[in-house]
Amino acid sequence: MFKYIGFRTDNIKKILFNPLEVTELKYTCLKCGTCCHEIEHKKRIPLYPDEANELIEIAKERGIAFKIIEDLVFPDELNNKILVVTYKIRLDNETHGCPFYDANKGCTVHEVKPLACKAYPLALKQVDAFNFQISVDPLCNYVDGNYNLLKEADFAEIKKIFKNEYPNAQEHLKKNKKLMLKIKKLEYKNEIKISREILLKDFNKYLKEWEREEITTN
């Protein structure tokens, strides 16, 4: 399996390619459902707290079993709290897929689906604890089928190929950056303390014992 096709808006490398071949590409969802299902150790559907709350309410109205678990978290050692930035949908049901996915209809919450879903197959790839970049997910069947062309596309071409998805990916990244900035500001004000180095046994202990606090853009 090949790695993510990554690109950075602040450091774009020009790559030689056949412009006629690349510019002919236009992303079309194959409605295969791959992005809505679990691929062991690879797939996750991240949700911001506000998105999670909205989907929880929809699931209650429809009588759907909907489970989420914490995804991106930071241990605040000053207040003994786990700061939750994102959750992810648990795909441990019978189909190992999103409970809002229907085999015949596809996504049944299309109008309110999370930013991560709206942006797909563009995704956020974690660079380090506080930094992310937009990448193309190679697990998407459209990307897989056009990999040889997409790997040669520069940033401008990626924006054209994924014309509808790119604005959502930008919004996804923008929201993520706001949350990371909020955490850094809280650190600067000495209102929280995020350790840059932590032992796994300590981290697991904190996860079990500490209260949770969601970090939102509000």
End-to-end, the C-alpha distance of the chain in Å comes to: 39
> Does residue 92 have a pLDDT over 90?
no
Closest CA to 185 of 88, 47, 83, 49: 83
Q: Could you tell me whether strands 101-102 and 68-70 are parallel, antiparallel, or unpaired per DSSP bridges?
A: unpaired
| Contact (Cβ atoms closer than 8 angstroms) between residue 55 and residue 115 | no
Going from N- to C-terminal start, the domains of the chain cover 31-214
- In whole angstroms, what separates CA 203 from the centre of its chain? 23
Q: Is the peptide bond before 121 cis (omega within 30 degrees of 0)?
A: yes
Q: Which of 82, 75, 95 is nearest to 49 (CA)?
A: 82
Q: What is the CA radius of gyration of the chain?
A: 19
User: Do 97 and 33 touch, CB atoms closer than 8 A?
Assistant: yes
Q: CA angle 51-70-110, nearest 5°?
A: 30
Which amino acid belongs to residue 16? Answer: L
* Region 147-175 average pLDDT: 91
pLDDT at position 205 is: 96
Side chain identity, residue 95: T
Residue 78 in 3-state DSSP? Answer: coil
Q: What is the mean pLDDT of residues 51-72?
A: 95
- For residue range 70-84, list pLDDT tens digits in order: 999 999 999 999 999
- What pLDDT does 149 receive? 87
**pLDDT tens digits, residue range 96-148?**
889 999 988 889 999 999 999 999 999 988 777 677 788 899 989 999 999 88
